[in-house]
Copies of this chain bind each other. A is one copy, B any other.
Amino acid sequence: MNQDYITPDKWSIIEEGFDPENVESSESLFSLGNGAMGQRANFEEDYSGRTFQGSYIAGVYYPDKTRVGWWKNGYPEYFAKVLNAPNWIGIQVFINGTPLDLNTCKKISHFRRELNMKEGWYNREFAVILPNGIELAVNVTRFLSMDLDEVGAIKYKLTCLNASAEIKFVPYLDSGIKNQDSNWDDKFWNTTKIVSEGHRAFIEAHTMKTNFATCTFMESYMELNGNKLDAKPSEITGQDRVGLAYQQQVQKGDTLTLIKFGGYTVSRNHPPSKLVQVAKRNLQEATELGVERLLERQKSAWAKIWERSDITIEGDVKAQQGIRFNIYQLNQTYLGKDSRLNIGPKGFTGEKYGGSTYWDTEAYCIPFYMSTKNQQVARNLLEYRYNHLEKAIENAQKLGFSNGAALYPMVTMNGEECHNEWEITFQEIHRNGAMAFAMFNYYRYTGDYTYIAEMGLEVLIAIARFWYQRASFSTPKNKYVILGVTGPNEYENNVNNNWYTNYIAQWCINYTLEQLQKVKDGHPEDYDRVIGKTKLTAVETDQWEEVAKKMYFPYSEEHSVFLQQDGFLDKELVPAADLPKTHRPINQKWSWDRILRSPYIKQADTLQGFYFFEDHFTQKELERHFDFYEPFTVHESSLSPCVHSIQAAKLDRMEQAYDFYLRTSRLDLDDYNNEVNEGLHITSMAGTWMSIVEGFGGMRVSDDKLSFTPRIPEQWDSYSFKVDFRNRILKVTVTREDVSFDLEGADEMSIRVQGNRVVLKGRNTVKL
């Protein structure tokens, strides 16, 4: 935990004062992104202290060779690594020849950062005394344009406070960068061409192996006290690097500003031969607009996003800051414009986890994007998996499955599995279930059945085939069992009959059988096409049905709960609260075997099933399971507190729900798990959104209608959120006394509030 260094504020993330210990954490927290690229909040000027440099381009990765001590058959050949891309933000600053470096200054008398989430920009201001005695005030604003999404802008203002001096700015581009997680000191980029033309420079480089071609570009000019200078720079070219040196004599009190535009053009979006040309067009547009007008456009782009997705909380600044930070980061990461992209668990804020797509997308992110964006965005996320179906079938084949059974990868960039730990890659197979659940969830929310008919059914058949083959018959139990899996709780490996896995396997088969019938009845042409393609027979579906019908679920009569897996009760069931504080987080303090034989749960597992399939269980059952499992849950996965918050709210345990809400919404801001330096937890931020809308707001969809059971934590005066439900925008405001619904437009809309039917038109208020 590092709770106190971010200043609470409704719309901004603010750090006051300079602490080198916080540099790497702040680099994560103040990250910028615009869906197409992103970067950690590294300083523009040189910094010789500890830092984690990172700049990332959406979809650009490196297939790092899988290297393990002992190879296991079935491992993928490579692990897709998120690639640190060439640096375009760098500006070296020299004052009378002395470099500006916050790590070597005599004194830092003022330091402040602000990430303005409302408007989408990042500012850093500081005042320092250099080793040579010169006192400086610096103010830097940076943003990645939502409008021109290949361009970012920096306005670097510097004032000499106590003397006149010669200032040298060297804005530069650098493609000689490495990944921090590059254990093997590999180089991932090959620089092919470095060009400078006047105020502009370009580096063409491509990634090794994947051969993504990029042009990293920049253009700069200076202003003295607001007046543009026409000083010509001199070029300084190194290996993998080009800088343009601007020199200027300034008087005491003068403000010299360097304005820099930069960014990338990439062969994912343009022909490789046109990258420089497109880069020039970008620079042309940006400089013609100028930094101020570009910033105006940035503000209005963000205003539009907030208009659809903002959640307000009155009476609790930290809670308000938390939810906006989550919504902001989700929108920096993924905007749904490019269906080849997906939502990486660290977004553009770090290297960890490699790859871009986990089951997080289907299990946690879909509801946020369905409710706050056009429904095509969620559909794109589903189509992403349909497009990877062939690869998922190949993946299953590698593991010994046949007849078109599919196992979706644990981690992927292009549909291929690119994770290589056997206990995850081969065993965390429940991910297959999330693919089917997302379809169910999408249809339930949007009412759009065409995805299932046109594409989804094929995916469902392949998944059902997998579950059928993966289950095996246990003679002593006279049931089908699923042996050797890792459930959502990754603190258990190679267990038998993980309840969640068995449950979602059974559900997948039954859901597939239902959809087969439904497509047959409603979309006979699609049905014929799919049956023809998959060669599905009645014998096969009968076999599936048999397995689903006789699926085994571990259960404790004594506790009246489903067991997370066989043998769970043999563990020493000491509640996590009884562990010494020095042992937490256990994943940083305990060896793996100790974690595995403990009862401690990384994230909701049985309770995840209760979340997905809540209609299948009574409130009493939920309560028993929550009471049984939560005390052993250490929430060391970012995906844990949100589900627990939703369920605590459902059980009317508002104090607990509120604590979990804070934990999920401020996970990174308060660094609960001591790891924010590595980057942010992006996908779980969608879970934070759910913990308000589904948790406190109690929003559900049933029978094609929204329903609400609003609750409010006692720390709050009111809160509001907005959803787009089937192309109608509904704003929900909950106060301590009532709930108001504002339906945009002239239509009527029927909903349920606390079980009662309400027909909305315009504004309606219901007493609680």
Interface residue ranges, A against B (CB under 8 Å): 66-70, 72-74, 79, 183-184, 398-400, 419-422, 426-427, 472-477, 481, 483-484, 493-496, 558, 566-567, 569-573, 587-594, 596-597
Contacts and interface: CB of A to CB of B under 8 A. Distances in A.
A422 B567 contact: no
Contact of A591 (B72, B419, B476): B72
Candidate in A68, A493, A569, A591 with the most chain B CB atoms within 10 angstroms: A591
7 cross-chain pairs, A with B, having the tightest CB-CB distances, nearest first: A74-B591, A426-B593, A484-B597, A72-B592, A483-B597, A474-B570, A399-B591
Given A67-B183, A570-B477, A570-B483, A591 B493 contact: no
A476 B570 contact: yes
A484 B74 CA distance: 24
Nearest to A72: B592
Given A475-B569, A567-B496, A569-B474, A399 B593 contact: yes
Contacts of A495: 494
Nearest to A481: B570
Contacts of A427: 593
A118 B590 CA distance: 54
B484 A399 contact: no
B571 A472 contact: yes
A741 B676 CA distance: 75
Contacts of A398: 591
Nearest to A354: B69
A141 to B, nearest CB: 39
Given A494-B596, A591-B426, A483 B571 contact: yes
A675 to B, nearest CB: 13
A647 B702 CA distance: 65
A69 B421 contact: yes
A128 to B, nearest CB: 38
A589 B79 contact: no
A411 to B, nearest CB: 11
B570 A400 contact: no
A472 B400 contact: no
23 contacts: A67-B183, A69-B419, A73-B590, A399-B591, A400-B590, A422-B592, A426-B592, A473-B572, A474-B569, A474-B571, A475-B569, A475-B573, A476-B569, A476-B570, A481-B570, A483-B567, A483-B571, A484-B593, A484-B596, A493-B494, A494-B495, A496-B567, A566-B567
B400 A594 contact: yes
Contacts of A558: 476
Nearest to A425: B593
A591 B184 contact: no
A424 to B, nearest CB: 8
A111 to B, nearest CB: 34
A475 B599 CA distance: 13
Determine how many copies of this chain the complex contains: 2
Given A184-B184, A570-B483, A593-B426, A421 B472 contact: no
Contacts of A593: 74, 399, 422, 426-427, 484
A591 B397 CA distance: 10
A477 B473 CA distance: 25
A472 B420 CA distance: 32
Contacts of A74: 591-593
Candidate in A66, A421, A477, A570 with the most chain B CB atoms within 10 angstroms: A570
Given A422-B592, A426-B593, A494-B494, 7 more contacts: A67-B183, A68-B68, A72-B591, A74-B591, A400-B594, A477-B570, A496-B570
B472 A572 contact: yes
A594 B419 CA distance: 18
A421 B476 contact: no
A447 B476 CA distance: 48
A74 B495 CA distance: 22
A594 B481 contact: no
Contacts of A493: 493-494
A421 B420 CA distance: 13
Contacts of A475: 569, 573
Contacts of A68: 68-69
A318 to B, nearest CB: 32
A649 to B, nearest CB: 32
A495 B593 CA distance: 11
Contacts of A422: 592-593
Nearest to A587: B73
Nearest to A399: B591
A602 to B, nearest CB: 14
Nearest to A183: B67
Given A472-B597, A484-B597, A493-B494, A73 B570 contact: no
Contacts of A399: 591, 593-594
A667 B15 CA distance: 68
Contacts of A70: 421
A575 to B, nearest CB: 14
A496 B599 CA distance: 13
A66 B67 CA distance: 11
A553 to B, nearest CB: 14
A493 B759 CA distance: 58
Nearest to A70: B421
Contacts of A473: 572
Contacts of A496: 567, 570
A73 B593 CA distance: 9
A400 B567 contact: no
Contacts of A590: 73, 400
A484 B592 CA distance: 10
Nearest to A473: B572
A156 to B, nearest CB: 39
Nearest to A479: B570
Given A472-B571, A477-B570, A591 B73 contact: yes
Contacts of A79: 69
A592 B73 CA distance: 6
Nearest to A427: B593
A636 to B, nearest CB: 13
Contacts of A570: 474, 476-477, 481, 483, 496, 566
Contacts of A484: 593, 596-597
A400 B474 CA distance: 36
A72 to B, nearest CB: 4
A419 B68 CA distance: 12
Nearest to A589: B73
A494 B69 CA distance: 19
A476 B555 CA distance: 13
A571 B475 CA distance: 8
A464 to B, nearest CB: 19
A431 to B, nearest CB: 14
Contacts of A481: 570
Given A493-B494, A566-B567, A597-B483, A588 B73 contact: yes
A710 to B, nearest CB: 41
